[in-house]
Chains A and B, each alone.
Chain A
Amino acid sequence: MSGYNQNLKTSIFKVFLVFGNMKKKTSKADNKIMFLENKLKYALPWIFFAFLIIWFGFVANHVIIYQSTLKLFFYDPYYLKRYFDFPGGFIDFCSSFLLQFYHIFWLGIIITALLNIGFYFLVRTINRIVFPKSQTDIISLLFSVLLFGLQNYHPFIPSYSLGFSFTALFLVIFLVISKKSYIASVFSCVIFAVILYFLTAGYVWIFAGMSGIYEISLRKSFKKLIIPALAVASPVIVSLIGFKFIYPVSPNNIWLEKLPFQFDEQIKSITILLGVLMILIPAFSFIKYSKLINRLNKPLIFSVLIVIVVFLISYLTFNSRLKTQFLNRNYVLNDKYSEIIQLADDAPSSNMLVSFGTNLSLYKKGLLLEKMFQYFQGFGINGLMLYGDKKPLSDLLKSKLYYDLGYINESHRWAFESLVQSGETPDALLFLAKTNMINGHDKIAEKYINLLDKSLFYKDTAMALRKFLNNEELMSLNNELTGKRKQLPNIDQFADNLEERNLEFLLKNHPENKMAFEYLQACRMLKLQVPLIVNNIREFRERNYSQLPASIQETCILYWASTGKKPEMAGYELNKNYMKLFVEYAKMVAHFRESYDKDKIYSQIKTKFGNTFWFYADFIAKN
């Protein structure tokens, strides 16, 4: 559309030139369009800012949610000092300071968007200084869009955005100085490189690269080589000094400390692209960039280009699977079980953490043994108890599971493991404080409470917990903590690597532990320990279940059909509809085994019986 407009304008312009005296009117039309385009030029960054708010508020909200659960910022001299143990500690410090406000979701979004748009203004200033005669404002937005791509990744915390922004800020100051005085630019190049190394570590290379190329493009004779040489030498020397004498940096990471290269390849690629583009800004002057830009200075075209790039970057960097996983994890840790089931219904996922959250929610809603096979159980027992999952993200979920099960030492163990792996996060500190209070270890609990108290947004939580310390009378009035105390094991054992043994242990201590009982049954079903379930139906009677849960009935039917022995039903009746369905299922499975078109029959069986234990036993567990 905009291209059509431009062609039209050009044609009209030519006609007016031919007919001479109509030039004045054309200018007026042009001015109107230029006026609109100018407006667009100024509005576009703010439109992008609004887009960022909406994007991180509603689409990539998991990024903010994830980052809000990271290590807390403590107002404590020791913890503050630790930020500066490494080069680039300043951006870590600022990042951690900002992250504490992510506790308020919308504040987190605004900070993320501001970090992005702040970077845009800095890059725009650089472009304006380097190309004073060109209209480069909208092009500057492309850098911001690349940063947006990086911000879409959950581990891309504010320190990385700040690394780019601080570098850009120092470049702006350097460019201003460089235009005024050569001698001052020589000194500032060295001084800024040293300061930037301490503030941002590896980002100093962007400064070195860009300042060097800028000087080559700006100056003539031997002068053009001095600053580039210094720009490269300064970070080399300061990095080596830092490594040798100041910081415990890895010999493998002397040059690239603090750059986000430890994550996946996409983050690394976009970071390199963004860094290289920043370095190359002055290099465009060699290819008559100014003239090119002026010729292509069509805000409408660039706006469309920006929209396309934003669309592409969003598509490439947004990960809906991760979103489901992080939302699910967040809901689990905040006891939002209806939301989890809703999420599982709306966005079925074959992710172990999601499976875990869904199973826990089903239990909380009294539906675990009724509906668990309606959801993906391909991970078997891992999806129920995260058995064997070693990722740090699952440590807190394990802690939560054992807390709910009443196995407090195991809950403490996994919360501690989370502390070791992920640092002093609010959830880990909370679990550690509570589990120690339940175990009567008030002095230990006090440490964690002290730390929560040193954060900005968990002071109330700390105060609420602190009042129970060394106050048994008040403690006895707290249903949650007292309830857990009643569930504490009386006899000892070592936590077993076989999860069902831990559940059996809990039941041995407290047979009334309903969650342990239902999880044990689910565990047995997932491990296809059918006889163990069928031979213990009386346990449901002992626990006053009015009828056998659906999945247990399906297990009984399968056992009956496969062994020919009717299970001891302890007075329960098997639902006749289930038996009819099983007959139908058995026929279809027999047909499947004989059929050549297995895919088609499999699909039919899955559609009709995919939500049954039978299907799980025949088609999922055995694969």
Chain B
Amino acid sequence: MRIFIVISLNLLILILTFCSTNQIQGNLPESGREAKIFPDYSGITIPPNIAPLNFYIDEEGSDFQVKIFSKTIDTIFCSGKTVDIPLNKWKTLLESNLGNELNLQIYVKNKDNHWTRFKTIINHISSERIDSYLAYRLIHPGYEDWREMGLYQRNLENFNETPIIYNRSIDENCVNCHTFCKNDPGTMMFHVRGNHGGTILLKDKNVKRLNIAGKPLISGGVYPAWNPDGKHIGFSVNKITQLFHAIKEKNIIVMDTLSDLVVYDIEKNTIISDIKLMGNEFMETFPAWSPDGLYLYFCRAPKISDTTKYNEVRYDLMRISFNPQDNTFGWIDTVIQAKNINGSISFPRISPNGKYLMFTLADYGTFPIWHAEADLYLIDLKTNRLIKMEANSSDTDSFHDWSSGGNWFVFSSKRLDGQWGRSFFSYVDKNGKSSKPFILPQKDPHFYETFLRSYNAPQLVISKIEVSQSAFAGIVLSDSTQAIYSGN
């Protein structure tokens, strides 16, 4: 009996030591710098509903202690080089401290058994929530053939990830271009390429498979954009080619040889366009709608010929008025001329309040994810003021998407290594100033060190997509509805 009590007590002490009591007592002198941590969660603004920002301490030492605290609520204590923050305590801490600072106090014990207190890492808890889900495609970056890939949704409030559609369930067809109408998981679409090719459309709890390809279109639908009315989808139709560079500084270039714009009317099952969007003079791509659905923004470059140099192709930002009542187009305006900003514009995305348009600017071309120089820009649509965003890095920053509230945005950045796109989040204030971005948190902070897939085309979604993967798979393998081209 006595032995049992002794063992139990020892075990209890051991457990308590690990859980919470292993705290540093007394005041230690502060080191002049912040501790190095990965991911870099220092000086960032975070939404109150984000999952715990687990990290590891990239400092030499034999023991590690971390205090996470704000103005109110108990401090969270963690120990060990890898910091795994308890979900419930984290949530309570954040929700109780909206608008306050979030402090990370890190202590490291060195070889001489002396503790060092690093400068407190200060972050800011925003009072604005971010949409709860992130939808993305996990793929190997840069390939000709594909094999295994899928569209996934991740609950941003914890670490749960579930497949929207995994391509092994649809005979390894390619899935891409998942897009939502106003961040609504109930109104969405994605494309399938391969022997079950088509466009999968989810609206009003109905899922159907569309075939948009067919004469006179040069391809099936490629880059999509939902009109906020939920009744129209703008598509580019593109002939895309991928080429491989020979020098070490560059890897791949993806470019269009032809492209046009069309709009699909969901209720009438018709495809409409205009000679101004399908002419022989220009290549039009990357559609985006104004929040009122009356303007279709897009990128446009002169059509290339055999003598066109690939690095001289630059896309302007254009817009055309659209009447959703009778499906007619008006006049085209130039919003930004590429030559005026010495670059090429892609991925225009307008904030839900219509104030800003965010786009990616690269030196040339149409697909900036392989351009290290690609950066994010904002244009104030009222004043035409152009803002280079603070969230940019020295590597590729592109493929962005606004949250439904318009205060947060997600984008794809290759800043960690130059090859794999990772999802980063940033807060935009009313003046268009973006906060230092933070990476999509993972349960295991070492995750990104060995994960060989890109988070492709991240999209913020208000809640979970309720249609099951098996239902989507069943539709993909079923017969498609042919969309009818109704001309200009």
Contacts and interface: CB of A to CB of B under 8 A. Distances in A.
Nearest to B416: A443
B142 A454 contact: no
Given A250-B473, A420-B147, A492-B250, A244 B468 contact: yes
A245 B466 CA distance: 12
Interface string A69-102: 0000010111100000110000000000000000
Nearest to A248: B166
A409 interface: yes
Contacts of A409: 244-248, 251
Contact of A444 (B146, B418, B451, B468): B418
Contacts of B452: 419, 424, 447, 451
A78 B451 contact: yes
A407 interface: yes
A176 B199 CA distance: 53
B145 A417 contact: yes
Contacts of B470: 243-245, 248-249, 251
Given A408-B248, A447-B449, A77 B444 contact: yes
Given A78-B444, A492-B250, A250 B145 contact: no
Nearest to B144: A417
Interface residues of A, number: 48
Interface in B410-436: 416-420
B245 A494 contact: yes
Given A77-B444, A444-B417, A251 B450 contact: no
A421 B251 contact: no
A494 B243 contact: yes
A252 B172 CA distance: 12
Max count, chain B CB within 10 A of own CB: residue among A85, A86, A416, A490: A416
Max count, chain B CB within 10 A of own CB: residue among A248, A252, A438, A505: A248
Given A249-B169, A451-B450, A416 B142 contact: yes
B391 to A, nearest CB: 20
A474 interface: no
The A interface is mostly helix, strand or loop, or mixed, namely helix
B246 to A, nearest CB: 5
Max count, chain A CB within 10 A of own CB: residue among B146, B171, B469: B469
B246 A251 contact: no
A234 to B, nearest CB: 20
B4 interface: no
Contacts of B244: 409-410, 413, 494-495
A493 interface: yes
A410 B244 CA distance: 8
Interface of A: 74, 76-79, 85-86, 243-245, 248-252, 390, 407-410, 412-413, 416-417, 419-421, 424, 438-441, 443-444, 446-447, 450-451, 454, 488-495, 505
A231 to B, nearest CB: 25
Nearest to A493: B246
Interface string B388-419: 00000000000000000000000000001111
B415 to A, nearest CB: 10
A408 B246 CA distance: 8
28 contacts: A74-B450, A78-B447, A78-B451, A79-B450, A243-B470, A244-B470, A248-B168, A250-B168, A250-B477, A251-B473, A251-B474, A390-B145, A410-B244, A410-B246, A416-B140, A416-B143, A420-B140, A420-B145, A441-B419, A443-B417, A444-B417, A444-B419, A447-B449, A488-B247, A490-B247, A492-B246, A493-B245, A494-B253
Contacts of B468: 244-245
Max count, chain A CB within 10 A of own CB: residue among B145, B253, B477: B145
A508 to B, nearest CB: 11
B269 to A, nearest CB: 25
Given A420-B145, A489-B246, A78 B450 contact: yes
Contacts of B417: 443-444, 446-447
B150 interface: yes
A70 to B, nearest CB: 14
B291 interface: no
A472 to B, nearest CB: 15
Given A78-B450, A248-B469, A420-B147, A407 B246 contact: yes
